[in-house]
Amino acid sequence: MTDGLDLSRVRFSRTGRLIVDDVDVTVPAGSLGALLGPNGAGKSTLLHLIAGIERADAGALAFAGSDLAALRRRDRARRIALAEQETHDAPELRVHEVVALGRTPHVGPWSGLGERDHAVVAESLAVLGLESLAMREYATLSGGERQRVNLARALAQEPELLLLDEPTNHLDVRAQLTSLELLRTLAASGRTVLAALHDLGLAAAYADHVIVLDGGRVVASGAPAEVLEPGLIREVWGVEVEVLAHPSTGRPIIAYSGVSSARASEVALDARS
Ligand SMILES: Nc1ncnc2c1ncn2[C@@H]1O[C@H](COP(=O)(O)OP(=O)(O)OP(=O)(O)O)[C@@H](O)[C@H]1O
């Protein structure tokens, strides 16, 4: 058990299909974990289980030594934020109002936002460079602008555990790096951060720890340089890569060469039919 996130033998099925299969994950407090895996691997489902949107069928989910299943809804919302790709509950709200929703778990049911809440909202907008968009309606924003608002909302929640589902999707390259640097800064301040990412290069450059899911199972986890090697990438994603070392950081650089003849999971399916 760590002072961060600890999942042990977590299972979840939907309509008779095992989607998360005996998953163990550890992300220590103060670190940035990247959840990787091809489409349909189970990344979003696992984030939903941790955030309490779905309930696991079996296994243990703990954060800072507390059983997540035993946390009351409000306590969970104070401690854990999930930044998803879309905010579905606020299409007509203005940007600053969407970000202020992040304060909901911290204010009483009948009281409005206090001085500190307003300050946190303003700070979250500023960190994501959203001041000039603060009065715009969320629905009128571009994909990348929405993504930054979703992250600002999660920041305003001041969570100890921050979960993010593809936080770099839609972002231009500078905004991608800005977001990952922000996640690193949050981790360095003692938060626990877990982000589902598709970009192996960004995970290699920024994550302390990567967890690779395939078909609902963890197939590898560890430091990026240990895990992200050509054999595993071929097996899981069905692509050929060379892995180089960054000349100044020493972190892995993933150089794509092309698509492999078949992914390991497809070979296994062919053998069965
Ligand atoms: N409500 C549901 N009913 C049935 N199957 C589901 C349901 N929700 C998800 N699945 C299936 O579970 C698997 C994992 O889905 P999930 O969205 O967690 O994957 P992911 O790794 O986040 O994928 P992506 O990278 O494409 O976003 C997929 O095969 C998906 O079709």
User: What are 22-48's pLDDT values in tens digits?
Assistant: 999 999 999 999 999 999 999 999 999
Asked if 192 and 31 touch (Cβ cutoff 8 Å), the reply is yes
User: What are 213-244's pLDDT values in tens digits?
Assistant: 999 999 999 999 999 999 999 999 999 999 99
Residue with the two structure tokens 């489409």: 39
| pLDDT above 70 (res 194) | yes
Query: Residue 268's pLDDT band (boundaries 50, 70, 90)?
Result: low
Residues 100 and 111: their CA atoms lie apart, in Å, by 13
Two tokens, residue 253: 């650089």
pTM for the complete prediction? 0.94
Query: Residue 269's pLDDT band (boundaries 50, 70, 90)?
Result: low
**In terms of Cα–Cα distance, which of 265, 226, 263, 221 is closest to 46?**
221
CB atoms < 10 A from the CB of 158, how many? 17
CA of 111 to the centre of ligand 1 (A): 38
CA 123 from centre of chain: 22
| Per-chain mean pLDDT for the chain | 92
Two tokens, residue 74: 């409000």
CA of 187 to the centre of ligand 1 (A): 27
| pLDDT above 80 (res 110) | no
Percentage of the chain beyond pLDDT 90 is: 84
User: What are 134-171's pLDDT values in tens digits?
Assistant: 999 999 999 999 999 999 999 999 999 999 999 999 89
Q: Which atom of ligand 1 is nearest to the CA of 47?
A: 18
CA of 46 to the centre of ligand 1 (A): 10
Domain ranges of the chain: 90-156
Instruction: Give the pLDDT of residue 109.
Output: 73
CA of 101 to the centre of ligand 1 (A): 27
CA 157 from centre of chain: 15
Ligand 1 pocket mutation, candidates 15, 36, 44, 219, criterion most atoms within 8 A of CB: 44
CA of 53 to the centre of ligand 1 (A): 14
Instruction: Give the pLDDT of residue 271.
Output: 57
| pLDDT above 70 (res 202) | yes
Residue nearest to atom 30 of ligand 1 (CA): 40
Longest dimension (CA), the chain: 64
**In terms of Cα–Cα distance, which of 13, 67, 50, 265 is closest to 165?**
50
CA 240 from centre of chain: 25
Residue nearest to atom 2 of ligand 1 (CA): 14
| Ligand 1 pocket list (CB less than 6 A) | 14-15, 17, 19, 37, 39-45
Asked if 140 and 58 touch (Cβ cutoff 8 Å), the reply is no
The per-residue DSSP string of the chain comes to --SSEEEEEEEEEETTEEEEEEEEEEE-TT-EEEEE-STTSSHHHHHHHHHTSS--SEEEEEETTEEGGGS-HHHHHHHEEEE-S---S-TTSBHHHHHHGGGGGGS-TT----HHHHHHHHHHHHHTT-GGGTTSBGGGS-HHHHHHHHHHHHHHT--SEEEEESTTTT--HHHHHHHHHHHHHHHHTT-EEEEE-S-HHHHHHH-SEEEEEETTEEEEEE-HHHH--HHHHHHHH-EEEEEEE-TTT--EEEEEEEE-S--HHHHHHHHH-
What ipTM does this complex have? Answer: 0.97
CA of 198 to the centre of ligand 1 (A): 15
